[in-house]
Amino acid sequence: MDRTIFIADDELDFVSTLRSRLEFEGYGVTTAADGKDALQRIIHEKPDLILLDIMMPTMNGYQVCRELKGNAETSSIPILMLTAKSQESDKFWGKEAGADDYLTKPFDMDELMEKIGGLLDE
């Protein structure tokens, strides 16, 4: 069965190219464009991996992350935080909130694919 990746990001162009690539690589892809929606659907869908943007409407990435990691049903799903900033503190807070890894935008698509592969293999 194909593994599913959930993309929570409000930048639609980015989501679109990412979806194309991931589907090409053989993943199932679901997306959400705001924090609350993403949280509800992830709990419901239980994807194999989550790509979580920090800057989102209604609920930010950290909050979504903390909720998911605090929830026994979803706490084991690996989360890859996507941040537009390169500040140490952002990375820190991502980790503190329970994220498994992070990637700074703009990133190289190939690098992202590598990280996804790595997280799913663990």
Partner 1 sequence: MTEKDHQKPIRVLLIEDNKGDARLIREMLAEVGGPAAFQLDWVERLSTGIERLTDGGIDVVLLDLALPDSGAEDTFTKISGAAGNVPIVVLTLLEDDDKAVKAMQGGAQDYLVKAELDGNFLKHSIRYAIERGRLKVQLEFLNSALQQRMEDLRTTTVSKAYVDNIIESMAETLVVISPDGVIQRVNRAVLNLLGYERSELIGQSGGIVFEDGADVFFLEADRRERRNFFKRMGLNDMIRSVETNLVAKDGTRVPVMLSGSVMRDESGAMQGIVAVAQDMSQQRLAEQQLKKVDESLEAEIHQRRSVATELEVTKANFSSIVEKTRDGILIVDKEGVVLYANPAAAALFGREEEELVGQLFGFPLTAGETTELDIIRLDDEKCVAEMRMDDTEWRGEDAYLATLRDVTERKRLFAEAKRTNEKLRQANQIKDDFIANVSHELRTPLATISNVLANALAGVWGVLSDEARSELRTGHTNAKRLASMVNNLLDMSTIQAGRVSLEKSQVDMPALIRSVIESAKAKAKEKGVALVTSHDPDLGLVFCDPMKIVRVLTNLVGNALKFTGEGGTISIAIQNGREEAQISVSDTGRGIAKENQERIFERFQQVDRTDVGGEKGTGLGLAIAKDLVELHGGTISVQSELGKGSTFSFTLPVYSLGAMLREAVHAEFKRCGQGNHLSLIILTFKQAEFEAMKEGGGVERWKQMLEDVETKIRHVVRRNMQDAVIQYGNGRMILFLRDTPKTGATSVRQRVVSALAPYEERCPFLVTAISCPEDAEDPDALVAAVDNLVEELATNG
Footprint of partner 1 (CB under 8 A): 11, 13-14, 17-18, 20-21, 24-25, 84, 86-89, 96, 105-110
Q: Is the peptide bond before 47 cis (omega within 30 degrees of 0)?
A: no
CA torsion sign for 8, 14, 16, 18 is negative
Q: How far apart are CA 2 and CA 101, in angstroms?
A: 22
CB of 113 to partner 1, least distance (A): 8
- Closest distance between partner 1 and the C-beta of residue 120, in Å? 18
Q: Based on CB atoms, which residue is closest to partner 1, 76 or 89?
A: 89
**CA–CA distance, 54 with 30 (Å, rounded to integer):** 18
The residue (of 19 and 41) whose beta carbon lies closer to partner 1 is: 19
Measured from the CB atom, is 40 or 87 closer to partner 1? 87
Cα–Cα distance for residue pair 15/100, rounded to 1 Å: 21
